[in-house]
Amino acid sequence: MRRAALALVATAACISFTLGAHNPVEARQEGMASYYSHGSRTANGERFNPNALTAAHRTLPFGTKVRVTHRKSGRSVVVRINDRGPFAKKRIIDVSRGAARALGMIRSGVARVVVEVVN
């Protein structure tokens, strides 16, 4: 009985993880973004390049490309997810300094954005 219960729990966890990865809610998010420009390695192991068009997201798989659109200016950029974060509660994405420059958010440091998966 105990083995069957453990198998059921493991199966349920696997199903919820799989559904979460393909959840259409994650295909488009709106919220606050910030940027970061320091670090040595990203969560996927590659060397951090502050001028690259990359970003950190809590749940999207590494390698996912997303379009980040600055709500106020309308500027957008496509970035590749290669890191985990942001660690501030009300933020949905951290973009690299290069992406922040393209979005026009260097001076403010934060911006209201729309994040949409493109691949």
Residue 33: CATH number of its domain: 2.40.40.10
* Angstrom distance (rounded) from CA 5 to CA 60: 30
Is residue 31 within 8 Å of 91, Cβ to Cβ? Answer: yes
In tens digits, the chain (119 residues) has pLDDT values of: 444 443 433 433 333 333 444 444 468 999 999 999 998 999 999 999 999 999 999 999 999 999 999 999 999 999 999 999 999 999 999 999 999 999 999 999 999 999 999 97
The encoded tokens of residue 2 equal 């105990």
* Angstrom distance (rounded) from CA 86 to CA 44: 15
29: which strand partners? Answer: 115
* Angstrom distance (rounded) from CA 47 to CA 39: 8
Residue 22 lies in a domain: no
Total-model pTM: 0.77
Question: Total domain count for the chain?
Answer: 1
Residue 2 lies in a domain: no
Residue 1 lies in a domain: no
Residue 20 lies in a domain: no
Residue 11 lies in a domain: no
Q: Which amino acid is at 48?
A: F
* Angstrom distance (rounded) from CA 82 to CA 56: 6
